Structure 1
């Protein structure tokens, strides 16, 4: 004894609960399945909108093999982004972050390490500091949606790494200038 819910082109089949079950139970199950908030969609059966979540499903004439239409704000044909599978846009943002960080690691990190061994060249300090600041500004310009946890984490880690490199550079220069004879 099942009921079918049509959601776009998708068909969701579930067991028909007892007649005294409130509509809210079905709405919550569908919300869990679709990842939509319960208030974000309407349920329609036999041409009538099922509005009263406290009413038993028998009040709506649901019976085995009934068909309910779920009308929601999200198109079921679009893949849902999850923590395990970032959306295409999120993957693109992550790739941009990783490209920036790779450029810093390969082109600036060796120069910073060399400078730290002998922090005496003011022009080199200024050059490296400027390039690291430019990298931080590029990372700062990357916008990740609040729901893109992986992209936000990647950006945060990249900013920390570049900022740490800049801090080491500036600390070496400050130490050199405060300990150098006048």
Structure 2
């Protein structure tokens, strides 16, 4: 008796066996990652937006790609990361949808990542600029490094905004949409913050030029 092709999905302490057709519709060659996530949602209750599937140590990201394109073969083993939201979680959403809750969680994670990785860089930049402005050393090398630091921080923050914009929130997911707006506003505020510090450098440079010309 032939055994139908299947994938083994480890989810916490549970081991899920997902069967597929040998060929054609429903096979590994034609089933997309999105379709697999839909099946896993039906089985586990973990929302699609809250699922991360790991194969060979890498997170599978392209939901339009077929499972075979990831290198999956019959009896390959995957790890499912994600949890089913409870009633309290769903009460925090407008729609009562587990998918909206997953989007809210994703937005929160992006904001926390920005806070953890970028804010220390901003504080370091502010300290460096303050030190430079309070000294009589107008070393162009230091000034150039500060300008480069500003550019890197702003570029990273712009990427964060683009990532937030890529989080698609349906019209009825109003709580998620509001959280996304707040996250974008917060990130834009950080850009304004570093731009203002950079402006202090520019004003100092202008003052130095005026003083230099006046002494001629």
Matched residue, 1:133: 158
User: Which of structures 1 and 2 has the bigger CA Rg?
Assistant: 1
1:42-95 deviations in Å (ceiling 9; x for gaps): xxxxxxxxxxxxxxxxxxxxxxxxxxxxxxxxxxxxxxx875663111111111
1:130 Cα deviation (Å)?
0.6
1:100 to 98, 110, 130: 110
- TM-score, length basis structure 1: 0.52
Gaps of 5+ in 2: 1-89, 130-142, 210-216
Give SS of 2:157's match.
Answer: helix
For residues 27-176 of structure 1, the aligned pairs below 5 Å read: 83=93, 86-119=96-129, 120=143, 121-176=146-201
Contact 2:94 2:173 in 1 (8 A): no
More helix by share: 2
Gaps of 5+ in 1: 1-80
Poorly superposed stretches of 4+, deviation over 4 Å: 81-85
For residues 11-22 of structure 1, the aligned pairs below 5 Å read: none
1:126-177 deviations in Å (ceiling 9; x for gaps): 1101100000110111111111111011111111111000101011102211
1 or 2 for the larger relative contact order (CA 8 Å, sep ≥6)? 1
Matched residue, 2:60: none
Alpha-carbon distance in structure 1 between the residues aligned to 2:167 and 2:94: 21
Structure 1 residues 86 and 109: CA distance shift in structure 2, 3 A: farther
Q: Which moved more, 1:152-161 or 1:116-125?
A: 116-125
